């Protein structure tokens, strides 16, 4: 009986830990690779810089999307956190206020 309770507790803890994070990454970020702006392909880099409108881009996350790599940068513009996503060819996929941005910094 005690062994069953102990095993159930271990399984429950493993399930909760697996749902919230993996290796220090947020859920859904398992396939992200951190890069410097210089490592981003030229078209994507130009789009990120243009959309950042002079804000500093310290790191870029590269992830695999359904149609190829996606490059994401988080920037602070006018005191607000923004998330910018572009494709490898420089197409802006999204630019939105990131309400969780303060938690990431």
Q: What is the CATH number of the domain that holds 95?
A: 3.10.450.360
Predicted TM-score (pTM) of the model is 0.68
Structural domain includes residue 40: yes
Full domain range(s) for residue 98 = 31-104
What's the number of domains the chain is made of? Answer: 1
In a domain, 25, yes or no: no
Give buried/exposed letters for 42-80 (b at 16+ CB in 10 A, else e). Answer: eebbebbbebbeeeebeebbbeeeeeeebbbbbbeeeee
Q: From first to last of its 105 residues, what are the pLDDT tens digits of the chain?
A: 554 544 444 444 343 444 433 344 444 556 899 999 999 999 999 999 999 999 999 999 999 999 999 999 999 999 999 999 999 999 999 999 987 765 554
7 lies in a domain? Answer: no
């Amino acid at each position: 009986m005690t062994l069953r309770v102990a095993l159930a507790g271990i399984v429950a803890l493993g399930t909760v830990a697996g749902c919230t994070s993996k290796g220090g990454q947020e859920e859904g970020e398992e396939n992200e690779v951190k890069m410097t702006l210089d490592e981003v392909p030229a078209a994507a880099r130009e789009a990120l810089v243009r959309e950042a409108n002079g804000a500093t881009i310290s790191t870029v996350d590269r992830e695999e999307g359904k149609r190829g790599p996606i490059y994401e940068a988080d920037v602070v513009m006018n005191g607000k956190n923004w998330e910018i996503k572009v494709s490898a060819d420089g197409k802006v996929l999204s630019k939105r206020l990131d309400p969780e941005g303060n938690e990431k910094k």
